[in-house]
Amino acid sequence: AQSVTQPDIHITVSEGASLELRCNYSYGATPYLFWYVQSPGQGLQLLLKYFSGDTLVQGIKGFEAEFKRSQSSFNLRKPSVHWSDAAEYFCAVGLTGTASKLTFGTGTRLQVTL
Amino acid sequence: DTGVSQNPRHKITKRGQNVTFRCDPISEHNRLYWYRQTLGQGPEFLTYFQNEAQLEKSRLLSDRFSAERPKGSFSTLEIQRTEQGDSAMYLCASSLSGFTDTQYFGPGTRLTVL
């Protein structure tokens, strides 16, 4: 069965600093990969997704992620963090050939200091 | 596009009572998903529908849980004889039916079982 690991439970960065959130997956084939963000009282919002092709994916709000097959990773990055980016971030994997369900990691809570 | 809506947003109930949640998907979406999210965890897949057909159920969905989507539009999730372990956020998502179509999430229903 597929699984997703987000090794960092909580990260604190200063506003304007760069950000990298780690995600590792376990799956036998090339998965579909997603990053979602969840703010308090809000639903999960899709930041970006990877299905195939270019391994560097651009998303909304200035985020990007890079798929590295050799490392089974799909890390999320942002060059300059804004205070409004404080939220919980979830990496998720979907099975190739079906989009019937997503398997999520446990999330990384991002705190931004001014 | 009004997004995915869920009602109620909060539900407090006593152990042993039955509860029902409703999800209204984005109107043209024929897939509808239910997930459960407990504190400090990522969402976990429960079940999904293609139109009115329930195509997959997780082992997490015990006999006390039932989901319906009678006309292929809104869906209900019922929990019978609630237990304290059922306390969680119940999330609904919808999508089109292509393999790469994005799941759009609602704000969730937070259930507290006393």
Mean pLDDT within B6-12: 97
Compute the average pLDDT of residues B7-36.
96
Amino acid identity for residue A2 in this structure:
Q
pLDDT digits (tens, 9 = 90+) for B24-77: 999 999 999 999 999 989 999 999 999 999 988 888 888 999 999 998 899 999
Give the minimum alpha-carbon distance from B8 to chain A in angstroms, rounded to a whole number.
13
Q: Where are the beta strands (DSSP E) in B14-87?
A: 19-24, 31-37, 44-50, 53-57, 65-68, 75-79
Question: Does B78 touch chain A if contact means CB atoms closer than 8 Å?
Answer: no
Whether residue A100 is predicted with pLDDT greater than 70 in this model: the reply is no
* Tens digits of residue pLDDT in A69-92: 999 999 999 999 999 999 999 999
Token digits for A47?
């930041």
> Is the pLDDT reported for residue B1 higher than 60?
no
Which residues are within 8 A (CB) of B104 and not within 5 positions of it... i.e. 6 or more apart? Answer: A46, B3, B4, B26, B29, B93, B94, B95
What residue of B is the nearest CA neighbor of A101? B45
What does the pLDDT read at residue B26?
Answer: 95
Q: What is the pLDDT of residue A2?
A: 79
d(CA A103, CA B91): 14
DSSP states along A37-104: EE-TTS-EEEEEEE-SS-SEEE-GGG-EEEEEGGGTEEEEEESS--GGG-EEEEEEEE-TT--S-EEE
* CB contact residues (below 8 A), chain A span 54-93, against chain B: 90, 92
Please, are residues A9 and A111 in contact by the beta-carbon 8 Å criterion?
no
pLDDT of A41 above 80: no
The rounded mean pLDDT for chain A is: 92
Q: Which of A44, A93, A95 to mutate to test the interface with B (most CBs of B within 10 A)?
A: A44
How, if at all, do strands A24-26 and A87-94 pair?
unpaired
Would the CB atoms of A106 and B104 count as touching at under 8 Å? Answer: no
Contacts A98 to B, Cβ<8 Å: 99
**What is residue A37's predicted lDDT score, i.e. its pLDDT?**
97
- Interchain contact, A101 vs B48, CB within 8 Å: yes
Report CB contact under 8 Å: B40, A41. Answer: no
Q: Has residue A9 got a pLDDT over 70? A: yes
Q: Judge: A44–B91 Cβ closer than 8 Å, yes or no.
A: yes
The pairing of strands A87-94 and A102-104 is antiparallel
Mutate to test the interface with B, among A33, A101, A103, A106 (most CBs of B within 10 A): A101
pLDDT in tens, B86-112: 999 999 999 988 767 889 999 999 999
Residue whose structure tokens are 């009004």: B2
Would you call B102 an interface residue with chain A, using a CB distance cutoff of 8 Å? yes
